[in-house]
Amino acid sequence: MANELEFGEVTREPDIRLAKDMKEVIQDIDWLEENKDAELYYMYRDLWHEEDEEKILSEGLRYDITVIPPLKMGCEYVKTKGHYHPEAAPGITYPEIYEVLEGEAHYLLQKRSSQAEVEDVVLIQAEAGNKALIPPNYGHITINPSEETLKMANWVDRNFDSIYKDILELGGGAYFEMVGGGLVKNENYEQIAELRYAPPTNAPEIGIKSGMDMYDLIQESENLKFLSNPQDYQSIFEKVL
């Protein structure tokens, strides 16, 4: 298959996200009507090097790669569907960590005060080698604003399913990134905080540094415990945004 990805000894075929799979969150309806079967991005889940498989599974972790080719969805840059995470502990949802392997990514993070009210919205602009930590209680969307393919990796706890419906019901994230770089508020929300910017994540306390290969965090898996036990790492999360 043309879209197969080889990672170490593992070969994966992708889950493919089509435009019609995320029709609720695409702003340009005219473009959508003509491009329902457009392939927007490719998700390769559960990757490992053979010598790390047992450790990754026993630690309850998952390493994925997502590939987002450059595309303009009419007036909007191509993006992921967007989702929140369930709670890992009372009042604290699971975090996630991303690394840009190739290209450029804009990570849009949003924290709700209610279903349709967002109290904090953050944009992290990242390039190859940069990391973006999604702290607990933030939903997130990834945007490819460039003319190059975005290839990114993520580590996440493997024992939960992402929650898509909340963003779908509101027609997307709190902001749309339009072709040319403008960010437009989603009028389906009742209240949206003003957008602010944060740098890529640098958290040496848990081994996260720009330029290092994030996959290698599994060699000292203590560094990844924040993904499954976020309640023990609140002081780190408070500093990343």
For the stretch 162-189, pLDDT in tens is 999 999 999 999 999 999 879 999 999 9
What pLDDT, on a 0 to 100 scale, did the predictor assign at position 158? Answer: 97
Q: How many domains does the chain divide into?
A: 1
State the DSSP H helix or E strand holding residue 61, giving kind and residue range, or none if neither: strand 61-68
How far is Cα 40 from Cα 14, in angstroms, rounded to an integer? 12
How far is Cα 59 from Cα 13, in angstroms, rounded to an integer? 24
What pLDDT, on a 0 to 100 scale, did the predictor assign at position 33? Answer: 97
The domain that holds 192 is classified in CATH as 2.60.120.10
What pLDDT, on a 0 to 100 scale, did the predictor assign at position 9? Answer: 86
State the DSSP H helix or E strand holding residue 15, giving kind and residue range, or none if neither: strand 15-18
- Whole-prediction pTM value? 0.96
Parallel, antiparallel or unpaired: strands 117-127 and 195-198: parallel
Is residue 1 over pLDDT 60? Answer: no
For the stretch 227-238, pLDDT in tens is 999 999 999 999
Range of 141's domain? 5-240
* DSSP assignment letter at 27: S
Mean pLDDT across 197-210:
93
